[in-house]
Structure 1
């Protein structure tokens, strides 16, 4: 439809072009070790997290700087989440969960900058994060509980005749976790950026430009909220899955 509009003298909108993976140093081929815009913005996210949590807090001042205040707020927020959702015995896994949250929320916010690249809009990125959580929780469940971890799939409170059926359902839902975990994050980030791009295309038409600009502002504000909420949802689900590994009985 966008191409037809272009042929008729109208505007041409390609909202998905912003998600194209491109080599940093020219060329068209993207290999396994090719530096791309994705790797650049992931590296910037890691750098930003390091500057905030390491450089920003190295003074450990009694009266904290802005960077130290933000770092302490994030630390307390994630620590309480882990403790409340997964229990006190899950605190030993706090560094991993804190790393997940900070990387995702930072990557989400960096993706909102003009001319940036939203790395968490790519399923290849979010799938790796989700699979890392899935494998960690599964391995941890068997290491800590042995075969008792299988009790997660056996609903002992249900009638005996229904337990095998529920076990199959629980097993399927368990293996679907990394799929839903990754698609939820990537889908929400991609959808918001695509909508902003569409409204930005309509801003070129003078008659509807004011409406388009207002829509962009509203959607952008919503995307700022979504950037945090999706990082929170990904992290709290990780805590829920961790709780299952630590306490697998139904």
Structure 2
């Protein structure tokens, strides 16, 4: 609502605006922004955990080493369970995606920070990278045999197989859209709700107990969403990899 009116002055979408780091109003492709800053911080945070946290390789691990080893083992088992032994070679790519999204989600929950994964421009690049990589792997390994992925041979008639093939092709090309929108939408929605309740808490003064309790509950939920969305993105990547490795299954 407009300033000076009788209502609340809450703008939940302002937190997602890109702003130049060094002043000015115009943003070009080379302009460092708040998104650039927090993308860089995400990379540094992942490096601190996986590189510096585990470089000691102590027999009695430190907390950092324990976290790094647990994360490594968790993602490795996920890749192996979904894609099989042949998919383990792509484990570095999957764990990189998982850790980047996980830390970007968690860092975005720090007050006054910037949530990079709330922007479709970020998530669609991640999703397109998966889509293009998986498609390239499928054709590189199977050639035209990769097209078996779209042909449902168990269907009783040829006409039905053709209809199902069309549906499979459409669903395949929709993958990067659903892959990216799911992540960005969940993160953006949660942050917007937090901002709304924070606005109520600031406006109600002494009567802000209920909004503060709601913020605490939603924040705990958002922590869970941050982890779950990173996991969902990674496991869907594994499912797509499995399709590329075993298109006839």
Q: Taking structure 2 as the reference length, what is the TM-score of the superposition? A: 0.97
User: Could you tell me which of 108, 111, 123 is aligned with 1:111?
Assistant: 108
* Cα RMSD after superposing both structures: 0.9
After superposition, what is the alpha-carbon deviation per residue over 1:44-83, rounded to whole angstroms, capped at 9, x for unaligned?
A: 0000001111111111001101100000010000000000
After superposition, what is the alpha-carbon deviation per residue over 1:99-144, rounded to whole angstroms, capped at 9, x for unaligned?
A: 0000000110000001100000000000000000000000110000
In 2, Cα distance between the equivalents of 1:159 and 1:10? 63
Name 1:172's counterpart in structure 2: 170
Name 1:189's counterpart in structure 2: 187
Name 1:198's counterpart in structure 2: 196
The CA deviation at 1:206 is 2.8
- Residue 213, structure 1, aligned to residue 221, structure 2: no
Name 2:124's counterpart in structure 1: 127
In 2, Cα distance between the equivalents of 1:88 and 1:207? 59
Name 1:83's counterpart in structure 2: 80
Name 1:231's counterpart in structure 2: 230
Report how many residues are paired.
247
Contact 1:189–1:227 (8 Å) recurs in 2: yes
Q: Unpaired runs of 5+ in structure 2?
A: none
Name 2:246's counterpart in structure 1: 247
In 1, Cα distance between the equivalents of 2:82 and 2:229? 17
Name 2:37's counterpart in structure 1: 40
Name 2:69's counterpart in structure 1: 72
Name 1:52's counterpart in structure 2: 49
After superposition, what is the alpha-carbon deviation per residue over 1:133-160, rounded to whole angstroms, capped at 9, x for unaligned?
A: 0000001100000000000000000122
Match of 2:7, SS? Answer: coil
Please say which of residues 7-16 and 192-201 is displaced more in the overlay.
7-16
The CA deviation at 1:88 is 1.1
The CA deviation at 1:207 is 5.7
Contact 1:203–1:209 (8 Å) recurs in 2: yes
In 1, Cα distance between the equivalents of 2:70 and 2:19? 36
Contact 1:202–1:208 (8 Å) recurs in 2: no
The CA deviation at 1:223 is 0.2
In 1, Cα distance between the equivalents of 2:99 and 2:23? 31
Q: Unpaired runs of 5+ in structure 1?
A: none
Match of 1:41, SS? Answer: helix
The CA deviation at 1:208 is 3.9
